[in-house]
Amino acid sequence: MHGRLKFAAWLAALYCAALGLIAATLVMVEVGMPAQDQAVVSRMFEERAPLLAFVGGLLLLACGGFVAWLFKRYVTAPRALAEQTRVVLANPGYRVEAAAAPELSALAAEINRLAGAYHGVQRDMEAKIAESGSRLEEERNRLAALMSDLSQGVLLCNAEGRILLYNEQARTLFSSAAAPIGLGRSVFGLLDREEIVHALDKLQYALDQGTEAPSTRFITALAARGLVRVQMAPFLAAGGRVGGFVLALEDVTRFVGQELQRRQLLQALSTGVRAPVANIRATVENMVSFPEMDPAQRQRFARIIAEESINLSKSIDQALSEYADAIKASMALEDMRAADLVTVAKRRIGALLRVDADDVDQNLWLRVDSFALVQSLGYLAWRLREEHAVDAVRLRARARETFAELDLVWSAAPLSSEVISLWESQPMQVAAEQTPLTLKDVLERHGGEMWYQRDEPSGASWFRFLLPLGEAAPQPSRRRLPAESRPEYYDFDLFQRAGTQREFDDQPLDELAYTVFDTETTGLEPSAGDEIISLGAVRIVNGRLLKHEVYEQLVNPQRPLNRESSRIHGIDARLLVSQPTLGAVLPEFHRFCEDTVLVAHNAAFDMRFLELKEAATGIRFEQPVLDTLLLSAVVHPSLQDHSLEAIAERLGVRVIGRHTALGDALLTGEILLKLFPLLAESGISTLKQAREASQRTYHARLRY
Amino acid sequence: MTKKILIADDEPNIVTALEFLLQRNGYEVHIARNGESALKLIEAHLPDLVLLDVMMPVKSGYEVCRRMRERADWRHIKIIMLTAKGRDVEMSKGLSIGADLYITKPFSTQELVAKINGLLGAGAA
């Protein structure tokens, strides 16, 4: 608009100047001329007026054309060149183009040369930054690795309860919580607010009292799955205030259950045993105290004793069988795969003599104190070598009823029972390494047994350990990720931010949390019944695209797909039939978007689909919305193509995985991040400014 | 005059043994098989002492004990609670609601007789 106005003004000025000049000439010629001459001149002009007007018009047209040509060549083109040059600032790989005038082409070439130099400098600088950043990154990765190797879940929160860091275990623990776990999200969505506030108060009090490293624990129920034990410790910000807190989380559902069982077992045993013993004792004492009682009475008492003895055995059996698990379970024992135990044992025994393992049940789990058990196996192997010159042993393990058999097998060298009982009761020793524990202690701790067995025909001897079976540990989804794609489970920069709850509008763009999303649909007309078939979203927190905090869901549109759209998104209609409907998906997606600004490319289109469902689902997306298409137009008003691909190419974003909702959402997110500095150059740095500029551009684009 | 003791317990074997024991020690013994009939027999015979099992059908020993202590005319009756539940909390509950003694099973018969004699003012036999 601006350009056209300027052009019109130029032209008008030119015309006015030309006409004014001619008029002035005429006036000057006529002034001082005799009257008859004036009449002659007037006549001459009057007679030739059409011709003069024609030539004059032609002249003006030519002038206009020339001005237009000049304008295009030397005004519009330089402007486009300037915009392109600004792109170079954002993406040094970009090169400008100016076809119009040779002078401008030369300028463009110079700009490109400068751009090349700038690119080089930029690359050098980036390399240097990357180098110094890599050490920090390495440390962070080491921390992340450490966190992911902990068996406990860890959450690190700032004083407001926003999550700065979490590990995979915490994520698993909260996998069925009402709110999803995520950086910058509130911990109160996961754990009871009152409980945490209370714990924080206690910690603050302890700090005020001058306690050095206070921590507090509590056990709290998770909505969906049992009990979790939380250990909470503060860390201090400047001024001794609590700057945030660390939560170490442990799923204690099983332990608490076992503890309860053990208590019940003791209860059942003592109560069940007392009554029959009382009866027997009273009866026997009667018989002893009154030896003169008549035979019938005596007989009657004897029968009571027999009866009560049976009751006694029964109640013991019953208690033990009812609470068998409680007896087996011990906090000190861990569930371990037999194959893993054998591997560790092999390493230990291998230092003494030849050892191999065959016949190990791969699905067998033991409940063991692995250290003590491996020590025991090593001890036996050592004594076999020292005292019986055994030079090779074999390990095997398999299930037997409700126990596991672990055998240490060797050939020849039968053992006497004296030797075995000696080995069992002496403190275990391997070379100079001695422990106060005996084999008996270890067996007792496991509630297990061990004996010596020999197969005469084959000459094989073995020690057989009978050990409690363990439970297969749930396989955590712990795919080892290569370092560069390690999950972005931490964000310490969130520390720097106070008052995240502030009104969105006044916040700097690069500090806001965003949910960038995209939809795939059955067609382009939501009001004509087209439906969403796929939703994909990714979060941006503190200027980082969190590629591991994504949302991806196919949706059953409950209507057939047309072939054309199928070709774009490549989703098979048959796949969608088994998916949830949008009504079921939206509440979940709404929770994912909580507390963030929504972003989409051509957001109006996607928002329309969501808004049409408001009445049916009652789910309203009330947060502010940004549109990367409009933001791109704000930054580059003279460029025409604002498609996702064109912007990506301009800003140097690599395009992969297009036409899946998540793929496009990721691309849109990267573009948004690249747009921030460009917006800042145009003086747009807060959400409010971005929204207002978008609105102006939107109206402007509508007019064309 | 022979003192009267009511044994309230649903287990016949302990009842048999205690009945024999107490008769040999010179007491008049009555037997109740549950809490309800214990209360009826107390009404009928007005015993000097009640041996009360905690876990009885119909009415528990605790309940019988409480009912007894609500009646002023029964206040002089001694109550010994016998139970297979050995936790401290149960013992203090029994004593709090009015039992004179709380004895956990198993127990020594000699001690039981000594304690009964003590409560009833020396030997009756």
Q: Which residues of B touch A (CB under 8 A)?
A: 11, 13-14, 16-18, 20-21, 24, 82-86, 104-110
By C-alpha distance, the chain A residue nearest B22 is A286
CA distance A329 to chain B (A): 24
By C-alpha distance, the chain B residue nearest A290 is B24
Residues forming beta bridges with residue A334, ordered by sequence position: A368
Mean predicted confidence (pLDDT) in A73-91: 82
Q: Phi-psi bin for B93: left (phi > 0), alpha (psi -120 to 50), beta?
A: alpha
Mean predicted confidence (pLDDT) in A74-94: 82
By C-alpha distance, the chain B residue nearest A285 is B109
Of B86, B104, B109, the CB nearest to A282: B109
The per-residue pLDDT for A83 is 84
Res. A491: pLDDT tops 70? no
> Residue B18 and residue A297: Cβ atoms within 8 Å?
no
- Report DSSP letters for A409-476, one per residue: EEES----HHHHHHHHHSEEEETTEEEEEEHHHHHHHHT-EEEEEEETTTTEEEEEEEEEB-PPPP--
> Residue A289 and residue B109: Cβ atoms within 8 Å?
yes
Cβ-contact A220, A192 below 8 angstroms: yes
CA distance B73 to chain A (A): 32
pLDDT bracket for residue A261 (50, 70, 90) = confident
Selected residue with higher pLDDT from A563 and A620:
A620
Res. A211: pLDDT tops 60? yes
Cβ-contact A385, A353 below 8 angstroms: yes
Q: Which of B7, B11, B16 is the mutation pick for testing A, counting most A CBs within 10 A?
A: B16
ipTM for the whole complex? 0.75
The per-residue pLDDT for A702 is 57
pLDDT bracket for residue A574 (50, 70, 90) = confident
Residue B31's H or E segment, with its range, is strand B28-32
**Strand ranges in A162-241 using DSSP code E only, listed in sequence order:** 163-166, 216-221, 227-236
Q: Which residue reads 């001005």 in tokens?
A: A67
> Residue B17 and residue A283: Cβ atoms within 8 Å?
yes
CB atoms near residue A73 (< 10 Å) = 16
Res. A497: pLDDT tops 50? no
Give A700: exposed, middle or buried? Use CB within 10 Å, 0-12, 13-18, 19+.
middle
The per-residue pLDDT for B78 is 93
CA distance A226 to chain B (A): 29
> Residue A277 and residue B105: Cβ atoms within 8 Å?
yes
Selected residue with higher pLDDT from B51 and A71:
B51
The per-residue pLDDT for A78 is 81
Selected residue with higher pLDDT from A136 and A155:
A155
Mean predicted confidence (pLDDT) in A262-266: 77
Distance between CA atoms of residues A535 and A664, nearest Å? 10
SS3 content of chain A, % helix, strand, coil (to 5): 55, 20, 25
Cβ-contact B103, B82 below 8 angstroms: yes
Of A274, A304, A308, the CB nearest to B84: A274
CA distance B39 to chain A (A): 23
Strand order in the sheet with B101-104: B28-32, B4-8, B49-53, B78-83, B101-104
List active site positions of A: 659
pLDDT bracket for residue A501 (50, 70, 90) = very low
pLDDT above 70 covers a percentage of chain A that reads 90
Q: Which residue reads 């690795």 in tokens?
A: A145
pLDDT bracket for residue B38 (50, 70, 90) = very high
Distance between CA atoms of residues A466 and A453, nearest Å? 13
pLDDT bracket for residue A172 (50, 70, 90) = confident
Sort out which chain B residues have CB atoms less than 8 A from A283's CB and list them: 13, 16-17
What angle in degrees, to the nearest 10, is found between the helix axes of B88-96 and B61-70? 20
Q: Which of B14, B18, B56, B108 is the mutation pick for testing A, counting most A CBs within 10 A?
A: B14
Mean predicted confidence (pLDDT) in A424-435: 81
Res. A155: pLDDT tops 80? yes
> Residue B84 and residue A275: Cβ atoms within 8 Å?
yes
Q: Which of A264, A266, A285 is the mutation pick for testing B, counting most B CBs within 10 A?
A: A285
Across the A:B interface, residue pairs with CB atoms under 8 Å apart total 69
Residue A343's H or E segment, with its range, is helix A338-350
Q: How far is CA A367 from the centre of its chain?
A: 33
> Residue A290 and residue B24: Cβ atoms within 8 Å?
yes
Nearest-5° Cα angle at A69, A63 to A75? 115
The per-residue pLDDT for A543 is 85
pLDDT tens per residue, range A435-480: 778 888 888 777 778 888 888 888 888 898 988 888 776 544 433 3
Sort out which chain B residues have CB atoms less than 8 A from A280's CB and list them: 106
Distance between CA atoms of residues A199 and A217, nearest Å? 8
- pTM for the structure as a whole: 0.46
Q: Which residue reads 């909470």 in tokens?
A: A232
The per-residue pLDDT for A60 is 84
Q: At residue A150, what are phi and psi to the nearest 5 degrees?
A: -70, 145
By C-alpha distance, the chain B residue nearest A308 is B13
CA distance B124 to chain A (A): 18
